[in-house]
């Protein structure tokens, strides 16, 4: 069956609606003040990445005269026009929220962001001393004249455009002063929780940088450059690390996509900036659309507000929580391998401790004398973590350690290159995956010698091996010694490090091999059950739903009578509730304290229900251009936990937004006394949101009091 383009929502506009839901959390007065400020920061950094990658990519399509329409029927130019209109509206709302609501409210609680004119004499002295000792030595004024060309402006950096006048000749000059990132953005004034933006301090002291010149004025601006990597899928590079290092370096000089200016920037200065930056455009892309000029208000680079959002003011922030140790792992006298041998362990982060489960598993493998080999994929990790230390320890102890590091993890390329070199220096065998594919799967395989032979232990997850994000993102993980899972992972790692062309697996759904086909088969099976009168049920939780073939399969399932609930945090190109097409499909998005990152898939299967989880969303890139793994949860005693989690999310009437057929989202509003919040329910009960009576049915499930996250 062929569906017309009107049945698909534009990918880029859907993403903007996701970011609009993030911004709404900053408006929501039910959230604590500093939490609301946090969402302003997240909204801003999200928008930066959107321009660096998505908008920049569409502009290049226009430059190449590409007229191919997106699945929803829009041309590249139409998409850019719609994006500009929606972004202008969102920035207006962001400015209104920040300057008319949040800053005044925070000031009433003693958190102030001042201008120089608002400083008291004592505060002036403190700030002036800070400028003299910490800021002035770092600054480098750059003149622009015939002997000094317009300087290179780095991506996302703040700059001051300074207008000067020579008092002897009356000639006006122009200079640029970069606001250094090495100095905290919010300069302390000496009064607790009172700050002044760094660029305001610099602007007030420009005479120290340009002695003898008259300061005619200064304004802050910021540029956004194209920042995606461009690796050819047609040929395999001889040295992938060298190629990516070169591209990371070169993208610093990519074309400018957007220029942000503060309110009040004179028109002639705007013209000057655009004229100079146009000269900076890529020479091989002469037909690029003009740079977008965005007036953002009196303050730029709002991502830096995260530093203020994390101020230690308990009454203005969510109560801290302490992840719990999964009940199965609380007996520290037992080997984690003995525990896993008894039964699979399902963990739910951040509610279940990442360090007490995943990190403990890898650390135990490094130290266990019976472990022969550790194989692991790393997409994004963090600093000198317990995992990196464990891997180097294992290598030093003579174990075979193989780590697949994804060098193309967007904006983490430089970090991952550093990790790769560190691991190699300790004797870890580091591989970089398959040419043309990102390795996005989250898997670890431990090979252990035991009394009855060799046994394989595994961890499969939906989230990165990153201890920092494991405290901020919701993710699912499974610790298992299933022989079939272990055999599948052995085959997968052989494919990643060798010349294996394995496509079919015993248990795992693996992309780009058979994942697309097997998900389609699961959806089609529900469709056939519904047609045969056996009922049909699908619940799928993911970050994004974009893939056209999968959307069409869901439409067909709905028409056959399958009940479908989709929990899609971000982009959703499917239109639910369209008469005769998607009547039985419902879509919600949950935006709250934690980033909903887990991917869980439920299929009713005529009463023989199946649960899957893993690293992949339903997007073309996940099915076709990434190495992904989705695993079944075969232990039926674990099914109540996953079912409870999905039911808890579906019943959320506080943070859930319902997607309407026209592509708009409406936030659910609870009646007085009937609020159900997914995160709140999980915190109140156990790490799966299960009630006291439910936990009794699950072996080793934590009682309500023990499993609840402590505040």
Catalytic residues: 440
Cα R_g (the chain), whole angstroms: 27
In angstroms, what CA-CA distances link 385 with 349, 354, 426? 17, 12, 15
H-only helix segments in 651-687 = 678-684
**Nearest-10 Cα torsion for 301, 304, 305, 309:** 160
Task: Please state at what angle helix 56-63 crosses helix 76-96, rounded to 10 degrees.
Answer: 150
Q: What is the DSSP letter of 290?
A: P
What sign does the CA torsion over 493, 497, 502, 503 have?
positive
Rounded to whole angstroms, how far apart are CA atoms 76 and 563? 35
Rounded to whole angstroms, how far apart are CA atoms 551 and 572? 10
3-state secondary structure of 541: strand
In angstroms, what CA-CA distances link 4 with 8, 72, 555, 581? 8, 8, 12, 11
Task: Please state at what angle helix 33-49 crosses helix 76-96, rounded to 10 degrees.
Answer: 160
**Distant-in-sequence, close-in-space partners of 162: CB < 8 Å, separation ≥ 6:** 141, 174, 175, 176, 177, 206, 210, 215, 217, 218
3-state secondary structure of 637: helix
In angstroms, what CA-CA distances link 648 with 447, 640, 652, 678, 689? 37, 12, 6, 6, 7
**Total residue length of the chain:** 711
**Distant-in-sequence, close-in-space partners of 367: CB < 8 Å, separation ≥ 6:** 390, 393, 397
| Consecutive H or E run containing 165 | strand 158-165
Q: What is the DSSP letter of 408?
A: T
Rounded to whole angstroms, how far apart are CA atoms 265 and 257? 19
In this structure, what token pair is assigned to residue 71?
Answer: 């699945």
Q: What is the DSSP letter of 135?
A: I
Closest CA relative to residue 451, chosen from 338, 329, 345: 338
3-state secondary structure of 381: coil
Tell me how crowded residue 580 is: count the other CB atoms within 10 A of its CB. Answer: 8
Longest dimension (CA), the chain: 92
Neighbouring C-alpha atoms within 13 Å toward the C-beta of 425: 8
3-state secondary structure of 98: helix
Rounded to whole angstroms, how far apart are CA atoms 80 and 10? 12
Whose structure tokens read 């959307």? 551
**Distant-in-sequence, close-in-space partners of 407: CB < 8 Å, separation ≥ 6:** 240, 241, 244, 413, 416, 417, 420, 432
In this structure, what token pair is assigned to residue 284?
Answer: 């091989």
3-state secondary structure of 141: strand
């Amino acid at each position: 069956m062929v569906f017309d383009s009107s049945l698909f929502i534009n990918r880029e506009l859907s993403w903007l609606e996701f970011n609009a839901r993030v911004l709404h959390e900053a408006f929501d007065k039910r959230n604590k003040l500093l939490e609301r400020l946090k969402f302003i920061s997240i909204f801003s950094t999200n928008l930066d990445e959107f321009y660096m990658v998505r908008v920049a990519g569409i502009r290049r399509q226009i430059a190449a005269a590409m007229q191919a329409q997106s699945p929803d029927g829009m041309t590249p130019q139409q998409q850019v026009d719609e994006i500009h209109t929606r972004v202008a509206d969102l920035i207006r709302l962001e400015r209104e929220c920040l300057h008319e609501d949040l800053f005044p409210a925070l000031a009433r609680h003693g958190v102030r962001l001042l201008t120089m004119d608002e400083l008291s004499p004592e505060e002036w002295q403190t700030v002036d001393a800070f400028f003299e000792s910490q800021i002035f030595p770092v600054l480098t004024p750059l003149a622009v004249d015939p002997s000094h060309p317009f300087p290179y402006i780095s991506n996302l950096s703040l700059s001051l455009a300074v207008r000067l006048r020579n008092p002897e000749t009356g000639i006006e000059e122009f200079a640029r002063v970069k606001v250094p990132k090495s100095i905290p953005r919010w300069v302390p004034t000496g009064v607790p929780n009172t700050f002044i933006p760094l660029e305001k301090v610099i602007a007030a002291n420009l005479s120290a940088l340009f002695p003898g010149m008259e300061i005619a004025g200064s304004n802050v601006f910021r540029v956004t450059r194209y920042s995606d990597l461009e690796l050819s899928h047609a040929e395999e590079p001889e040295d992938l690390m060298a190629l990516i290092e070169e591209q990371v370096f070169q993208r610093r000089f990519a074309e400018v996509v957007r220029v942000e200016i503060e309110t009040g920037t004179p028109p002639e200065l705007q013209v000057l900036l655009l004229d100079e930056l146009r000269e900076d455009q890529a020479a091989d892309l002469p037909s690029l659309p003009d740079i977008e000029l965005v007036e953002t208000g009196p303050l730029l680079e709002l991502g830096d507000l995260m530093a203020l959002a994390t101020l230690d003011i308990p009454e203005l922030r969510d109560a801290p929580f302490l992840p719990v140790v999964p009940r199965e792992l609380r007996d520290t006298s037992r080997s984690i391998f003995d525990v896993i041998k008894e039964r699979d362990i399902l963990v739910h982060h951040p509610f279940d401790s990442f360090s007490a489960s995943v990190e403990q598993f890898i650390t135990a493998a490094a130290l266990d004398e019976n472990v022969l080999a550790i194989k692991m994929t790393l997409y994004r990790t963090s600093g000198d973590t317990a995992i990196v230390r464990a891997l180097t320890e294992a290598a030093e102890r003579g174990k075979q350690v193989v780590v697949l590091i994804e060098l193309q993890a967007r904006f983490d390329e430089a970090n991952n290159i550093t990790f790769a070199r560190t691991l190699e220096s300790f004797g870890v065998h580091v591989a970089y995956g398959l040419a043309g594919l990102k390795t996005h799967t989250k898997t670890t395989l431990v090979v252990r010698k035991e009394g009855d032979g060799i046994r394989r232990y595994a961890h499969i997850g939906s989230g990165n091996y990153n201890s920092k994000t494991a405290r901020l993102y919701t993710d699912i993980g499974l610790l298992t010694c299933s022989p079939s899972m272990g055999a599948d992972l052995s085959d997968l790692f052989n494919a990643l490090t060798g010349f294996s062309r394995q496509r079919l697996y015993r248990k795992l759904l693996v992309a780009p091999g058979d994942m697309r086909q097997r998900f389609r088969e699961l959806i089609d099976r529900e469709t056939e059950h519904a047609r045969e009168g056996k009922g049909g049920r699908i619940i799928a939780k993911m970050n994004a739903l974009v893939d056209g073939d999968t959307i069409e399969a869901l439409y067909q399932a709905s028409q056959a009578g399958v009940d479908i609930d989709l929990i899609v945090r971000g982009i959703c190109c499917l239109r639910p509730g369209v008469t005769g097409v998607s009547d039985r499909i419902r879509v919600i998005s949950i935006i709250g304290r934690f980033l909903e990152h887990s991917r869980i898939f439920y299929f009713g299967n005529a009463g023989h229900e199946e649960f899957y989880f893993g690293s992949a969303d339903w997007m073309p890139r996940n099915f076709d251009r990434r190495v992904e793994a989705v695993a079944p949860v075969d232990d039926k005693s674990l099914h109540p936990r996953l079912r409870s989690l999905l039911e808890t999310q579906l019943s959320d009437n506080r943070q859930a937004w319902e997607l309407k057929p026209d592509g708009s989202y409406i936030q659910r509003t609870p009646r007085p006394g009937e609020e159900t919040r997914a995160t709140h329910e999980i915190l109140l009960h156990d790490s799966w949101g299960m009630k006291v009576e439910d936990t009794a049915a699950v072996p080793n499930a934590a009682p309500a009091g023990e499993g609840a996250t402590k505040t």
